[in-house]
Amino acid sequence: MKEKKIIDAEIDKGAPNGQAYHFYGEADEYPGAEAGDVIIIVQEQPHKLFKRKGADLLMEKSITLLQALTGVDFVFEHLDGSKIRVKNEPGQVIKPEEIKTVKDKGLPFHKQTYNFGHLYVIFKVEFPK
């Protein structure tokens, strides 16, 4: 008898790309044969703003030469919907490819959901022609 079954797969926060979840004995079964397993593998989808490196997130931000010399202050929406403000120190000049770290604003570590990675903002300075 054919039967459809819905399997609820609870994916851990911070699960890495390629993480496998096994459901033993949940696949098709035939008379005289043992039921197989269902395996679900996490596949990370690319994001338009962030790149993932473990629990850390990388973000590129293009800024003008004027912003690099006088200061940068911008707000963006994080993956969880919260607004994050990035601002440099007064008088600090941003060099091309400089990296600013926003602590604990990355993804949760796998199996340690109370610890978070960092968010790294890489500044791309656009020079005038």
Other CB atoms within a 10 A radius of the CB of residue 92 amount to 14
Name the 3-class secondary structure at 12.
coil
List Cα–Cα distances, 42 to 9, 21, 53, 64, in angstroms: 11, 8, 15, 38
Query: What's residue 29's pLDDT?
Result: 80
Query: What's residue 111's pLDDT?
Result: 85
Per-residue pLDDT at 125 exceeds 80: yes
List Cα–Cα distances, 31 to 28, 34, 95, 97, in angstroms: 10, 8, 69, 63
Report pLDDT digits (tens) over 52-94.
999 999 999 999 999 999 999 999 999 989 999 999 888 899 9
Helix runs in 7-126, H state only: 65-70
Q: What is the pTM of this model?
A: 0.80
Q: Which residue reads 């403000």 in tokens? A: 85
Of residues 3 and 128, more confidence is placed in 128
